[in-house]
Chain A
Amino acid sequence: MSTLSDPQQGSFRPSMLLNDTRYRSATLQVIAAVLLALCLFYLYSNLATNLRAAGLNISFAFLGAPAGYDINQTLIDYNSQSTNLRAAMVGILNTLLVAFLACITATVFGVIAGVLRLSNNWLVRKLMAVYVEIFRNIPVLIWIIIIFTIMTAVMPGPRAFRGDEPSSTMFLDLFAFTNRGVYTPGPFFTRGVGGEAGSIVNWLIVIATLIGSFFATRFVTNRANETQAATGERPNTLWTNLALWFVPIIVVLFILGLSWDVPELKGFNFAGGIKIGGPLIALWFALSIYTGAFIAENVRAGILAVSKGQTEAASALGLRPRRVMSLVVLPQAMRVIIPPLISQFLNITKNSSLAIAVGYADITATLGGITLNQTGRAIECVLLLMAFYLIISLLISAGMNVYNNAVKLKER
């Protein structure tokens, strides 16, 4: 027996495609697909016509051709005869360098400002509020330009360091702040392995040692946790951990013969040491203070999100204020702080593309700037540029998801 609401069998009418919920979504999707295909085809045919009219084609062959321009700050070997691809690699490394540095300093600034905004001290609270509001409400491009101007127009030139009574002196005889950049002592190894070309190997050894120490201390801490869980007595791990961190690295550095190359004024400029160029400092510092203001707000919101009862309960247990913060409030606040913090890191990475405004050779300036202008390969360069940033974003958000799953509230 069929009820009244059953659809009548075998009477399909075209209007049912739109009015019957069984078919409607399929119809709409077919229409959308057709429209989308038409749109894409329209854009593609325009592109093809325009490219033919301009006598262009899509080709990535220019990547293998010599770049023909110099880059003043490079992390890997590069000269003007290197290929465009090599120039892009230099740019990628420079982007990652400034993003990495700015992420660290922005977090430091942000955490300090965020915690101080909750201080009991009225003056400090207000000062930090002013910092946050001023830096958040002015475009980061202006901050980059301001700090770049300080670097180039206010700092003394190398000439000011010369003579018997120089108008500028080096800070602690180690650092020189000039309008061409900051010169700092650079580490090198006198007994390093592998000679000139093997300097990277030495650094890999140092990093490997640090990673080894990290895992060793983690092992010790885990053992301590197990012992505590089993017996209730927690063995003292502080000295073991300190020894694990410091002894191996000191021994390794001693064996490799670490020394410092202090910058010295030679002729018209400083020689030796590491030169950190003005554009890098401008970008690094501006991104740090700008994003730091945003991170400060995230940190403040995170701490405020921990309910007051938690603090009171912890105090009722007899914990001191510092331990209340580190054992009860911060672990819970972290869950709120970390996700926006990671999107701020993403923002720093994307904003580092503003390097092109001050002439720092990041990927936007090399591939998207000089290479694009010299070869005229606009489409290819912009596509590669976008692909690079997309990959970085996807990696960062994948990392964020892994972290979120690790720390999310596990309800059992």
Chain B
Amino acid sequence: MSDTHAQSVAYVRDTAIPPSPAPSNAAGPVKWMRENLFATIPNAALTIASLYVIYLILSATLPWMLNGIWTTGSLAECREVLDGATGACFSVLTERWNQLLFGFKYPVDAYWRVLVAFVLMLVALAPVLFFDLPRKMLIITALFPFVAYWLIWGGTIWVPVFALLGVVVGYLVYARFVAQNFALGFFGGVAAAIVFWTLSGYIVPVLTPEQPWLKSVPSRDLGGYMLNMMLGLTCVSLSLPIGIALALGRQSSMPLIKWVCVIFIEFIRGVPLITLLFVANVMLAYFFPPGSGVDLFLRVVIMITMFSSAYIAEVIRGGLAALPKGQYEAADSLGLDYPQAMRLIILPQALKISIPGIVNIAVGLFKDTTLVSVISMFDIIGMIRGPILASTDWNGVYWELLLFACVVFFVVCYSISQYSQWLERRLATDHR
């Protein structure tokens, strides 16, 4: 190209410049650290302080955990093996594993029954928790309480069978009359079920064989983590319908019903769970007919259910109050009566809004089941503080046992709360 053309022809580059990497202080880990860890001088000081805290925690726990002993028979043996070195004695977990999970009285040859019930519980919960699963699985959910009762308590199979039949009879009566009038169907169904159960109370003893196929286990033999899970699951599922009823009652325009619900809710919410457990332990038996022999497990279930239903009622009341007034008016303008409006329009939306709150209550309740150890039931905390630490073999192994209890509770509670967050995103309750 000659010099004359150099002025007239514009220089146009026809290939792209290959992208060059950003300067090392404006990209990659260095930039990230500058922005997130060392942005300002106080920030850097915080980072160093946090690193020091992490170092302190890890240096105290890591050698102890990594050096843990898993296979000795007693604390003395553990100390011998460790020979003065720092190390945990996790053998208490392997040796007392069954006791931690099932309590110390539950018959060893019946452990498989609890495990089967546990697996069934997972199957039964799945369709409730994840709506994408086939709806037919709900049949398992419906049958689960009866099967689980039979598996865990054993005894004659006719008790759960007749209990189930009572529910079926109640449902049939409900389905027959609900088209005419919801109240008639509902209360008719309840009445039919109660009549059926009363009658079957005379039939079951006749049918009971001498040697039932599954050995009967009394409630006081239940224990360990199993007890926590059973109390948590039973009480939460029982308290949901009661909580809904209480919430509706509190919103009701009928003063008598409203005030009964208000007094019940405020009373239960005003006292600690421990006092209610005292009621279950020392007082509730006085309110049952003489000689009815309601065992402690059932009394505790009654009181914890009352406790959690009061809290759930408040959460659902919040959901009901959060619904726009137009929804109520729309239901009225369609000519729906109260049960129809509630069932078809109000409650589905209100429950959806209340899900996070209900899950919070459920997690809190599951944690609170440890309080039964105060009234000397041997749940996992009761087992640790009672039989295991009191035994001569394991006197003094606090940390391993407490760590185990922390881990099992953390795993369950954290996964429930993660599930709730997933569900919230899934339902997107904030822009309904």
Contact = CB atoms under 8 A, between A and B. Distances in A.
Given A50-B286, A149-B398, A385 B374 contact: no
B363 A137 contact: yes
B271 to A, nearest CB: 5
Interface in A108-142: 119-124, 127, 133-134, 136-142
A121 B270 contact: no
Nearest to B398: A149
27 contacts: A29-B257, A32-B257, A46-B288, A46-B290, A47-B286, A47-B287, A49-B289, A49-B290, A50-B287, A120-B39, A120-B43, A121-B37, A121-B46, A123-B36, A137-B410, A137-B413, A139-B381, A140-B367, A141-B370, A353-B272, A378-B278, A378-B282, A382-B279, A386-B267, A386-B275, A389-B272, A390-B271
Given A124-B50, A142-B405, A149-B402, A379 B286 contact: yes
B251 interface: no
A193 interface: no
Nearest to A45: B289
B340 interface: no
B256 A353 contact: no
B254 to A, nearest CB: 5
Contacts of B414: 133, 137
Contacts of A153: 396, 398
Contacts of A353: 272, 274-275
Nearest to B405: A142
A382 B278 CA distance: 7
Contacts of B409: 137-139, 142
Contacts, number: 147
Interface residues of A, number: 51
B373 A141 contact: yes
Contacts of B286: 46-47, 50-51, 379
A139 B363 CA distance: 10
Contacts of A357: 373-374
Interface string B120-159: 0000000000000000000000000000000000000000
Interface string B265-286: 0010111111100110011011
Contact of A141 (B46, B256, B270, B371): B371
Interface in B231-264: 253-257, 260
Given A142-B405, A382-B275, A382-B283, 20 more contacts: A32-B254, A120-B39, A121-B46, A123-B47, A123-B50, A124-B47, A137-B410, A137-B414, A138-B413, A139-B368, A141-B381, A142-B402, A145-B385, A353-B274, A354-B374, A357-B373, A364-B275, A378-B282, A385-B278, A390-B270
Contacts of B207: none
Q: For the complex, would chain B's binding face be called helix, strand, loop or mixed by DSSP majority?
A: helix
B51 interface: yes
Interface of B: 36-37, 39, 43, 46-47, 50-51, 53-54, 253-257, 260, 267, 269-275, 278-279, 282-283, 285-290, 363, 367-368, 370-371, 373-374, 381, 385, 396, 398-399, 402, 405-406, 409-410, 413-414, 417
B275 A389 contact: yes
Contacts of B267: 386, 390
Nearest to B47: A123
Given A32-B257, A46-B287, A46-B288, A122 B402 contact: no
Given A28-B254, A36-B260, A386 B271 contact: yes
A356 B374 contact: yes
Contacts of A390: 267, 270-271
Contact of A139 (B54, B253, B278, B367): B367
A119 B45 CA distance: 13
A122 B287 contact: no
A294 to B, nearest CB: 10
A73 interface: no
Interface of A: 25, 28-29, 32-33, 36, 43, 46-47, 49-51, 53, 119-124, 127, 133-134, 136-142, 145-146, 149, 153, 350-351, 353-354, 356-357, 364, 368, 372, 378-379, 382, 385-386, 389-390, 393-394
A368 B43 contact: no
B402 A354 contact: no
Nearest to A44: B287
A146 B407 CA distance: 13
A47 B287 CA distance: 5
B299 to A, nearest CB: 13
Contact of B275 (A28, A119, A124, A368): A368
Contacts of B43: 119-121
Contacts of B50: 121, 123-124, 127
B44 to A, nearest CB: 9
A312 B269 CA distance: 41
A127 B270 contact: no
Nearest to B279: A382
A140 B409 CA distance: 11
Contacts of B368: 139
Contacts of A49: 289-290
Given A53-B290, A386-B275, A378 B374 contact: no
A53 B413 CA distance: 45
A48 to B, nearest CB: 9
Given A121-B47, A127-B50, A350 B402 contact: no
Contacts of B371: 141, 354
Chain B CB count within 10 A is highest, among A32, A137, A372, for A137
A51 B285 CA distance: 11
A379 B283 contact: yes
A382 to B, nearest CB: 5
Chain B CB count within 10 A is highest, among A124, A141, A350, A378, for A141
Contacts of B279: 382
Contacts of A356: 274, 374
Nearest to A150: B398
